[in-house]
Amino acid sequence: MNATPVNRVYLFGTCLVDVFHPRAGMAAVRLLEREGIFVDFPPEQTCCGQPPYNSGYDEQARDVARQVVERFSDPIPVIVPSGSCAGMLRHHYPSLLADDPLANAAQDLAARTYELHEFLNRVLKIRLEDQGAPVRVAMHTACSARREMGVRDDGLALLGQLKHVEVCEPENAEACCGFGGTFAVKMSEVSAAMASDKCGAIRATGARQLLSSDCGCLMNIDGMLRKQGQDLNGEHLAEFIWKRTGGEPL
């Protein structure tokens, strides 16, 4: 883990944050800036390349990976508010570009990539002061964040600092919500059944709010909850933490 003081980072915003959850991206920026970090957001950034990669179109995924590697080339941390996209940069770019002229740059980028809450908890070791009313929340950790990035405990550790927030995980918390990127499109009936099971487990916790650090899962679960007529608001973890700790409206 990086022991050198950090004063500048890149933010890789992700497609889903950009299109569907922009407040999650703004919360990430605000949380980093509050710690004295300058956040560099390359405006020409694109997708991380997961859709073609997960569908077996490696050459198209390589084209995207090359662009990301070149646009995030300064030797500073790359912060990603998504375990899934962070996993793509950290774990898949090196093999995807292993025989490419950018192979070394891809390895370097992988070593500098952090999931947002991992970075806040382990590198910056931020301290949080809860300024909200008591609430019970259900935390869903995405498969990629849990298994590929190993950052489940970081989100829970940050929530654990909020003294008026009671955190619970649904039964079978390690089970997928059914999103899985293109899986939700290609296997929509299976995906919907998995999401329905996940929603039932979340409702059983008695939580008043759903949190996740991945917008894909949040969209899938929150969408199913709305379809079921459930009044259980879904929110990205960064946005929740920002608001609970006195952050101004985003």
pLDDT tens per residue, range 16-53: 999 999 999 999 999 999 999 999 999 999 999 999 99
Q: What pLDDT, on a 0 to 100 scale, did the predictor assign at position 182?
A: 84
Residue 179 has pLDDT above 60, yes or no: yes
Q: What is the mean pLDDT of the chain?
A: 95
Q: What pLDDT, on a 0 to 100 scale, did the predictor assign at position 154?
A: 98
Question: How many CB atoms lie under 10 A from the CB of residue 231?
Answer: 7
CA distance 178 to 216: 10
Residue 84 has pLDDT above 80, yes or no: yes
Q: What pLDDT, on a 0 to 100 scale, did the predictor assign at position 3?
A: 61
Residue 212 has pLDDT above 60, yes or no: yes
Q: How confident is the model at residue 221 (pLDDT cuts 50, 70, 90)?
A: very high
Residue 248 has pLDDT above 70, yes or no: yes
Residue 231 has pLDDT above 90, yes or no: no
Residue 197 has pLDDT above 80, yes or no: yes
pTM, two decimals, is 0.95
How far, in Å, are 5, 13, 69 from residue 218 at the CA level? 33, 16, 27
Q: How confident is the model at residue 181 (pLDDT cuts 50, 70, 90)?
A: confident
Q: What pLDDT, on a 0 to 100 scale, did the predictor assign at position 39?
A: 98
Region 168-174: what's the mean pLDDT?
95
